[in-house]
A and B are shown apart, each in its own frame.
Chain A
Amino acid sequence: SQTIHQWPATLVQPVGSPLSLECTVEGTSNPNLYWYRQAAGRGLQLLFYSVGIGQISSEVPQNLSASRPQDRQFILSSKKLLLSDSGFYLCAWSAGVAYQPQHFGDGTRLSIL
């Protein structure tokens, strides 16, 4: 069966520090991968999605970037965090057809001080 791992679970970072969140998927190949942010426990905002290695689409211009160095690895990064980057970040995967649901990781709670 397929599983998705996301880490770390919780992160506290100072303003201006870099960020790297990692997500990996097991048990499938060539998944679609997604990064979402959820502020204040409501409403998911799609940040990035990827349909293949090195292919990244950005939904919202911002302080963050994403990379997909391997088929089942998706990384969310920032060079300098802002206070507004605080939130709950969720990684998800789906099979490459529209009717398949997205499956989510456990999320990372990011607090910027």
Chain B
Amino acid sequence: AQKVTQAQTEISVVEKEDVTLDCVYETRDTTYYLFWYKQPPSGELVFLIRRNSFDEQNEISGRYSWNFQKSTSSFNFTITASQVVDSAVYFCALRGGTSYGKLTFGQGTILTVHP
């Protein structure tokens, strides 16, 4: 069975602070894929990034960065210099290499950035 845990239910920061969203996963698959999605108040889920299990290289995209550590089964997401527009629910998700098309989502972290 696969499982994704986002232990932080809610995070509140002030604009320009850095914030890290934690994601821990469990899977028995040797090949798997990790994803982060953003859900703004309007409701749609926006795909942010995918990481393959065989590629532990961290990634930076503007103010966003992702730290994938296989040894601790974690795929954490950091927003640098947060902005009010970053306020959303963020979901981490996992798909095993053998689980055709099915994503397992974490419960999400509500991020609120105050001006």
Residues of A within 8 A of B (CB): 32, 34, 41-44, 46, 49, 51, 59, 88, 90, 92, 94, 96, 98-99, 101-107, 109
The 6 lowest CB-CB distance pairs between A and B, nearest first, are: A104-B45, A32-B101, A101-B47, A107-B43, A44-B105, A106-B44
Residues of chain B touching chain A, judged by Cβ–Cβ distance below 8 Å, are: 31, 33, 35, 37, 42-47, 50, 52, 89, 91, 95-103, 105, 107-108
Contact: A44 with B91, CB < 8 Å? yes
Which chain A residues border B95 with CB–CB below 8 Å?
A: 98-99
CB neighbours (8 Å) of B108 from chain A are 42-43
Judge whether B43 and A109 touch: CB under 8 Å.
Answer: yes
The answer to whether B99 and A98 touch across the interface, beta carbons within 8 angstroms, is yes
Task: Name the residue on A nearest B49 (C-beta).
Answer: A101
Cβ of A99 and Cβ of B103 under 8 Å apart?
A: no
CB-based nearest B residue for A9: B43
| Nearest residue, chain A, Cβ from B42 | A106
Cβ of A31 to closest chain B Cβ, rounded Å: 10
